[in-house]
Amino acid sequence: SLPLLCFRSSLIFGLLLLAPFTQPSTITQPNFVLLLADDLGIGDVGCYGNDTIRTPNIDRLAKEGVKLTQHIAAAPLCTPSRAAFLTGRYPLRSGMDAINDYRVIFWNAGSGGLPPNETTFAKILQHQGYSTGLIGKWHQGVNCESRNDHCHHPLKHGFDYFYGMPFTLISDCQPTETPEMDRAFRRKLWLSTQMIGLITLTAVLGRLTGLIPVHWKTLTCLAGFSLLFFISWFSSYGFVRYWNCIMMRNHGITEQPMVTGRTTSLILRESISFIERNKHKPFLLFLSFLHSHTPLLTTEKFLGRSSHGLYGDNVEEMDWMVGQVLDAIDKEGLKDTTLVYFASDHGGWLERQEGERQLGGWNGIYKGGKAMGGWEGGIRVPGIFRWPGVLPAGTVIDEPTSLMDIYPTVVHLAGGAVPQDRVIDGRDLLPLLRGAAAHSEHEFLFHYCGVHLHAVRWHQKDTGAVWKAHYVTPIFSPPGAGACYDRGFCPCFGEGVTHHEPPLLFELSQDPSEAKPLSADTEPLFDTVIRKIGRAIEEHRSTLTPVPEQLSVSNVVWKPWLQPCCGTFPFCWCDKEGDN
């Protein structure tokens, strides 16, 4: 009949109208704005319990979206954690975790970096028609064999546009700060140079006074050796600011060395400009903050504003930058079509101090910090998603999740497929974020320090227990201090760690601070849990295949022929932003 036909037509029309609102993730390709802080501790953010550092914009993201309370970095340092984030894979699968004490990329002129055969989420989104941009820190290498091959560069890894630092911010970039890079090794080199110089001078004086019978030929060789030794290390370490502290736009260098006073405003300007340029097509913006890494570049407007010194000022400025980016999204009418994500690459750096000044972050109730692969403080980070109308606002999820999960989540939402020819360790988070799934897909997460397995977490889904077994832990110095203040970094292996047999076991849902290790006497399930985790380790190790070590000594050393240079090497200097 006619009324029934009209009713059916109206119903079909109504369902068609409703479809985009009920399942927008399957109808449209959202924009992605991925915000990654540098060295920010989970205890530094208001919505994670900090009531003295003001982070209203990050807190607003959590209020309007989903907050993860057990969001885990795949590594406790910049280079390996970011490699895992970009590839969805544990960093040792790509050779981006350390076999030695060089645990990150040390020079723009090293030959190690994210291998060209790794497929980042940016590369897949590029193929899906997205405009892809990286603004800020890279720290995944630049060149392989020549100064301009750019084999590790962001543009080789799926980004259409790059503006920022190919390296990482370090105190050496700020002329007024105490040098940070390889500080202890540099002291040894200075001392060795002085000793060799003293021996040479003594021999020369002895020859002139006749007290030491030595040939002039020998003295010439000794003097030549002294000079060569000095040049061999000072040519790199003496010019760290020129070699590492550079800014690039795509393949071109814009500042060498960078002018730190304008860096924050340029990064913010570039981020907003990228959104404005690409508002009419799907885009991916990866804003990789230089905040809150030392030397804590902070503009005058924010200096002295927080109650936590320069570090607090820097975090509050980063929060303001987050707000400016969110405002730009709103202004362009993109709020409902943009998935925004905020996280930190790993925990706060507890040992980073200059005299009485604390220059590193705080990890709240969690033990340990940056560089510690096992303890929660090194790897548990803020994790916030916002997508209005799709993700339920004000949700808190306490399931184990990983920074590696961004990879499959973003790829699937963009309509792409994750590579089938390699192991992807991340899991699609959308069902969990939308409330369609009660549990994370991660049963086990493996916590590495370099290539050394320090701990494993097992999420026992039927009981809700989160067991964590520590096989190796760093020895804190001084004892009981909670960090390695005497070293500046906790090591992964050697005399600075303790091996545990049986492993230390904690139940994180009852003891998130990892303060009370369980034993076979106190925990009836102790042996069962340790056996279950042991089998998971064997299974995990069976999936690992040998790959070239990107952070080997030969790959991390400074190679002058690989040095990005604005000019004719070694006369590398330019300021194209100033010229503009």
Q: Give the pTM.
A: 0.93
Annotation says 490 is catalytic = no
Tell me whether residue 8 is in a domain.
Answer: no
Rounded to whole angstroms, how far apart are CA atoms 392 and 66?
7
Residue 580's pLDDT is what? Answer: 65
Spatial neighbors of 531 by CB under 8 A, at least 6 apart, are: none
Catalytic residue among 6, 47, 78, 221: 78
Residue 211's pLDDT is what? Answer: 82
Longest distance between any two alpha carbons in the chain, whole Å = 124
Tell me whether residue 211 is in a domain.
Answer: yes
Looking at the fold, whether 231 and 357 belong to one and the same domain comes out as no
Catalytic residue among 139, 150, 442, 459: 139
Looking at the fold, whether 192 and 51 belong to one and the same domain comes out as no
Rounded to whole angstroms, how far apart are CA atoms 170 and 96?
20
Can you give the pLDDT of all 580 residues of the chain as single tens digits? 544 444 444 444 443 444 433 444 444 799 999 999 999 999 999 999 999 999 999 999 999 999 999 999 999 999 999 999 999 999 999 999 999 999 999 999 999 999 999 999 999 999 999 999 999 999 999 999 999 999 999 999 999 999 999 999 999 999 888 888 877 888 888 899 899 888 888 888 887 887 888 888 888 888 899 899 999 899 999 999 999 999 999 999 999 999 999 999 999 999 999 999 999 999 999 999 999 999 999 999 999 999 999 999 999 999 999 999 999 999 999 999 999 999 999 999 999 988 888 999 999 999 999 999 999 999 999 999 999 999 999 999 999 999 999 999 999 999 999 999 999 999 999 999 999 999 999 999 999 999 999 999 999 999 999 999 999 999 999 998 999 999 999 999 999 999 999 999 999 999 999 999 999 999 999 999 999 999 999 999 999 999 999 999 999 999 999 999 999 999 999 999 987 6
Spatial neighbors of 335 by CB under 8 A, at least 6 apart, are: 329, 388
Cα→Cα distances 507→42, 523, 529, Å = 20, 10, 10
Residue 579's pLDDT is what? Answer: 73
Q: What is the CATH number of the domain that holds 286?
A: 3.40.720.10
Looking at the fold, whether 203 and 348 belong to one and the same domain comes out as no
Tell me whether residue 202 is in a domain.
Answer: yes
Looking at the fold, whether 97 and 192 belong to one and the same domain comes out as no
Looking at the fold, whether 263 and 391 belong to one and the same domain comes out as yes
**Strand extents, DSSP E, 29-101:** 31-37, 66-72
Q: Cβ(129)–Cβ(414) under 8 Å? A: no
Tell me whether residue 178 is in a domain.
Answer: no
Ranges of H-type helices in 65-168 = 78-87, 121-127
Evaluated on CA atoms 247, 253, 255, 261, the torsion sign reads negative
Annotation says 291 is catalytic = no
Q: Cβ(101)–Cβ(491) under 8 Å? A: yes
Rounded to whole angstroms, how far apart are CA atoms 330 and 327?
5
Task: Extract the tokens encoding 326.
Answer: 């969110």
Residue 553's pLDDT is what? Answer: 95
Rounded to whole angstroms, how far apart are CA atoms 483 and 470?
16
Looking at the fold, whether 216 and 271 belong to one and the same domain comes out as no
Looking at the fold, whether 187 and 329 belong to one and the same domain comes out as no
Looking at the fold, whether 154 and 211 belong to one and the same domain comes out as no
Tell me whether residue 1 is in a domain.
Answer: no
Tell me whether residue 428 is in a domain.
Answer: yes
Domain extent, residue 470, equals 35-169+246-570
Residue 272's pLDDT is what? Answer: 98
Looking at the fold, whether 464 and 334 belong to one and the same domain comes out as yes
Residue 216's pLDDT is what? Answer: 82
Looking at the fold, whether 216 and 115 belong to one and the same domain comes out as no
Tell me whether residue 227 is in a domain.
Answer: yes
How many domains are there within the chain?
Answer: 2
Looking at the fold, whether 337 and 452 belong to one and the same domain comes out as yes
Burial label for 163, CB within 10 Å (0-12, 13-18, 19+), is buried
Looking at the fold, whether 188 and 307 belong to one and the same domain comes out as no
Tell me whether residue 29 is in a domain.
Answer: no
The rounded Cα 339 to chain-centroid distance in angstroms is 20
Kindly report the length of the chain. Answer: 580
Q: Cβ(349)–Cβ(357) under 8 Å? A: no
Report the relative pairing of strands 66-72 and 131-137 from DSSP bridges: unpaired
